[in-house]
């Protein structure tokens, strides 16, 4: 096309025609096919051989909200169950900044020195908000993330705390079937996620800091009661004395708590994750715990209780979902709520009404 700027009045200016632009999509590229999913049986076979790629894939299915994926995941889990259980499950909690990532990195390397394999999982109920960044970033554990015997998986991000916890619990089964004999489950020590972690681990480690002034206050009391070991991090440099003081305070506070059901007296130690001081001592404590609870039968008992807890938890979730996802229930519920709000119906009559409907039609 002739450009108007090339007319004689615009002397000195020449505009050349453009050249055809290449397409932004390569026309020669073949559409990439997604690898078809192996059958549940094939997946299990590979998981049992320790194939981490398949393990990752199975965990993704566990985390999926697609009902087809869920069905496959359940089948894989069921087949893996007989091969699970042979591990030490250790929960690790502490407020953000307590040094969880730094510590897990060195604890992990310490554990792997004796051989075996380590899976680091996480429960982060806030990950919806932060898009999983708190516990999701692999690079937080620099050494472990490149270790061939470590498998790091960020927190499942979708759903309620209960849902996230259940997925982590199922992931433990898959990891154990794949031969991971050490499982760390990390959580941020700020809410109810500790209770969820506590319900799936054998040993619960609480990482604390000295000198924050709130060691023995508020919410942490509940967490302290769950802890099998309290470790005070950053006991290095001019912080050593403060760490020792905190240790003494925690020790005397623990004496005021009722005895634990395991019969184990929680220990309080100081260490430095960053400077790698006192790491072996922390691990010796954990070894002592496992010896103790395996000898007195508590280890097995607790695992059985946990299995029962997760069975009940699954029943409750399924029932609730089944009820609330029923289209007719949804409709009736909306109407009945209005009736209750307008004081035309009591809460109990309304609840009875809708439950009667549900039980009759289901």
- Interacting residue ranges for ligand GDP, rule: CB under 6 A: 94, 96-102, 233-234, 236, 272-275
Strands (E), 242-300: 267-270
Q: What angle do CA 321, 327, 333 make, to 5 degrees?
A: 85
In degrees and rounded to multiples of 5, residue 213 shows phi and psi of 80, -15
Smallest distance, ligand GDP to C-beta of residue 139, A: 11
Smallest distance, ligand GDP to C-beta of residue 234, A: 4
Residue 274 or 283: the one with the smaller Cβ distance to ligand GDP is: 274
Residue 176 or 186: the one with the smaller Cβ distance to ligand GDP is: 186
CA neighbours closer than 13 Å in the CB half-sphere of residue 254: 21
Residue 155 or 272: the one with the smaller Cβ distance to ligand GDP is: 272
Residue 99 or 108: the one with the smaller Cβ distance to ligand GDP is: 99
Strands (E), the chain: 88-94, 118-123, 150-152, 182-188, 203-209, 229-233, 267-270
Alpha-carbon distance of 289 to 291, in angstroms, equals: 5
Residue 168 or 233: the one with the smaller Cβ distance to ligand GDP is: 233
Smallest distance, ligand GDP to C-beta of residue 297, A: 34
| Token duo for residue 277 | 């001081």
CB atoms within 10 A of CB 286: 20
Smallest distance, ligand GDP to C-beta of residue 276, A: 8
3 state SS of 112: helix
CB atoms within 10 A of CB 142: 12
Residue 102 or 157: the one with the smaller Cβ distance to ligand GDP is: 102
CB atoms within 10 A of CB 182: 22
**Closest among 71, 44, 66, 68 to 55, alpha carbons compared:** 44
Smallest distance, ligand GDP to C-beta of residue 104, A: 8
Smallest distance, ligand GDP to C-beta of residue 274, A: 3
From the CA atom positions of the chain, what is the Rg in Å? 28
Residue 98 or 246: the one with the smaller Cβ distance to ligand GDP is: 98
In degrees and rounded to multiples of 5, residue 144 shows phi and psi of -65, -35
3 state SS of 91: strand
Tokens 């154990």 appear where? 176
């Amino acid at each position: 096309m002739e450009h108007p700027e090339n007319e004689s009045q615009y002397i000195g200016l020449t505009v050349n025609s453009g050249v055809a632009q290449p397409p932004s999509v390569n026309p020669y590229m073949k559409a990439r096919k997604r690898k078809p999913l192996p059958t549940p049986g094939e997946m299990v076979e590979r998981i049992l051989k320790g194939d981490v790629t398949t393990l990752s894939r199975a965990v993704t299915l566990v985390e999926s909200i697609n009902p087809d994926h869920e069905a496959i995941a359940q089948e894989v889990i069921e087949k893996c169950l007989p091969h699970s259980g042979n591990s030490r499950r250790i929960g690790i909690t502490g407020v953000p900044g307590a040094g969880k990532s730094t510590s897990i990195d060195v604890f992990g390397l310490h554990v792997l020195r004796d051989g075996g394999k380590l899976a680091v999982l996480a429960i982060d109920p806030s990950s919806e908000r932060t898009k999983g960044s708190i516990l999701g970033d692999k690079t937080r554990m620099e050494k472990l993330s490149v270790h061939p015997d470590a498998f790091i998986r960020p927190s499942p991000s979708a759903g309620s705390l209960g849902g996230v916890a259940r997925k982590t619990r199922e992931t433990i089964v898959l990891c154990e079937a794949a031969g991971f004999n050490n499982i760390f489950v990390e959580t941020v020590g700020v809410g109810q996620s500790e209770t969820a972690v506590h319900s799936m681990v054998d040993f619960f480690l609480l990482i604390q800091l000295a000198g924050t002034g709130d060691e023995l206050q508020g919410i942490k009391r509940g967490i302290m009661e769950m802890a099998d070991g309290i470790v005070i991090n950053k006991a290095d440099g001019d912080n050593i004395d403060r760490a020792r003081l905190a240790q003494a305070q925690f020790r005397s506070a623990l004496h005021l708590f009722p005895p634990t059901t395991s019969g184990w007296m929680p220990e309080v130690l100081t260490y430095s994750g960053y400077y790698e001081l006192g790491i072996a001592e922390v691990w010796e404590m954990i070894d002592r715990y496992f010896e103790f609870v395996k000898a007195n039968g508590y280890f097995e008992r607790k695992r059985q209780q946990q299995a029962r807890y997760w069975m009940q938890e699954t029943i409750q979730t399924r029932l609730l979902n089944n009820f609330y996802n029923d289209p007719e229930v949804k409709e009736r519920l909306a109407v009945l709520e209005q009736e209750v709000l307008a004081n035309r119906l009591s809460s109990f009559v309304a609840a009875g009404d809708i439950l009667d409907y549900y039980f009759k039609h289901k």
